[in-house]
Chains A and B, each alone.
Chain A
Amino acid sequence: MRVRHPAALDAHEDGMIRSGKSNSHSPVFSWLLRAALGLAVVQSGMIVAPYTASAVPSYARQTGQPCATCHTAFPELTPYGRQFKLGGYTAGGTRCGGDSGLAGYLGGSKDVPSAFATNEPQIPISFMTNSEFTHVNTKDFPNNNQTSVRETSIFIAGQLYCNLGAFVQMTYSRPDQVFGLDNADIRYANTTKLAGVDVLYGVTANQNPTVQDVWNTVPAWSFPFIDSTLAPAPAASTMIEGTFQNRVAGSGAYVWINNMVYAEISAYGALDAKTQHDLGADPTGPRFAGAAPYWRLAVEKTWDQHSLMVGTFGMAADIQPVGAGPTPTALSFPGMTDRFTDVGLDAQYQYLGDIHAFTVRGSYIWEHQKLNAEFANNASANPNIDLDSFKISASYIYDRTISLTGGYFGIRGTSDALIYADNANFSPNSNGWVADLAYMPFSKGGPKEWPWLNARIGISYTHYDKFDGTSVGASDNDTTFIYTWFAF
């Protein structure tokens, strides 16, 4: 559940830091100290929340497992976390007809108290809050060195009933001052045996292509897992990289054969402007016309402490551009659609020792845009453009408590004087790297008073070698981002 910087939600949006004289003489220690104090003040205010896991604590309560069972460093998933999600988020649940009658039968053991030991049906509600401090390299940046509450979310996550489960996150975003749906994935899953082979099958309904996936290679769940809502971000991204979160709804069916082969077909359709607005989405973004198919195939070999996945995913959509005319939510070129096709290749290797864990993951997305609508209306210089997005990152996690991640990202595509009018060289290209150091003190169990508490406190640095078409001044956009992230 990464929350994207709003600017990146629209592939064609503008408003980024340009090249300019860089000024980076702010004493690092002083603003870091201010950041830390600011965060502490802000976050402590948030802890007085009515109730007390991304790591979703309601999953911990339901399964009796600590966060570290499903997550190396949340939200990154272990093989068990993937199994839990593919199985419909219902493992450990006792809310199922006759099962709840079994709760009394199950008893639980009173002589060996465990905070996680309970067989009563759990209420699948959790909360999350995070706060951020952002420092951007250039002194021209308007909201620099700001500490603020970033988001507060309520989750409905866990077994709803029997084999039906959910991961529904509703978020109030402080910077945007909007409360809306963030991620929603409701699914039903079951297992059977076909020709002696275990087959898990399920259906999912969700509103963000790739949110239903279980590998940390796909856009909805890839590194970096949390980023600043204030910092600049490259303007260009492929459509499957979150552009249509909350603008579409879709459903599909999947199978997970013998814990090795994952295959899914889904389809997404547009939500109308009013629904988008009600869900908290920005209705001025582009819209799907008709149904857009989505597919995903992954093959994973798991052996002992290792797993290796190679896969592909993609989506093809007819897109109606929005907002070029006087009304920001109206179709720009009614009756005309672009055709976007995204094809991704991804791979992930994970090692899970009892103390050390290590993951390396990468994805390469090719996007081909047939700009039928724009080109016919002189809104693009080219009839077709390509846009490729490449990400690779590696994480080392010590004792599920400290994680160090480094990643490279690059987006590269056809230059177009009209589509990328505001970019240097009219090029969408950006690339750079991100490093993140995070501390998760409660992965293996929270304090005695509230064992399902989980926290991630981290510092992230993003460096741009190229930003929106040029390397000149790209590093002015370099961002230091400190975050505290609590779930309970």
Chain B
Amino acid sequence: MKAISFKLALQTAVLTAVFSTAGLADGGDAAGPAKGDVQTKVEYCKNCHGAAGEGFHGYYTAPRIAGQTVKYFENQFKALLDRKRDDPIAKMFMVHALDGMSPSTRAGVASYFSRLNPPPLERGRGSLAAKGKKIYEDGVPDASVPACFACHGQDAKGDAENPRLAGQLSSYTAAQLAGWTKYRQKDPTTPGASNVMAQIASNLTKPQIEALSAYLSSLK
């Protein structure tokens, strides 16, 4: 057997190691999200967002993410990471939770949850839900509030950057509508912001918000 120069062997070993780890680092992007990583993160999200992403009431409320649009996920992730979304609960938990998640993992997580459709966690209260249905379908012309279905779909399942509202937890929907400008409009140019929604939210009265939220929470 020929004696192999130790130095050469070492160099080879180091180069191999470097290239293979480099491969791993980019491997995710190149070949699609590494399955294991996304699965682990998905389980992590479920701790707060519910076993099927249907939302959960802990001490705080985590919104339904099941069936959400991929584009909306992307916009909100960006708004959170850029510190442009200012609602206290999101700030408290979501910024930190997204820490260290690669873009491909985030995309994988979004894709996974967007395909889930568990039944709603809540049952909208009867008469309130009926009132909410009316607003959803007809808007409130006197207050310059357009009908929601026009952007969010007849079934409230959303479209691209217009989020799914069906089955969303009522306290969450209500809080977002009531606090829209404060929470979402810190930087109106960010994809997560919406001047349209800012206008609509400020025009809706508190009872209307409650009615809408109740209706939406019951939608499958």
Answer yes or no: A and B touching, Cβ < 8 Å: no
List A residues at the B interface (Cβ < 8 Å).
none
List B residues at the A interface (Cβ < 8 Å).
none
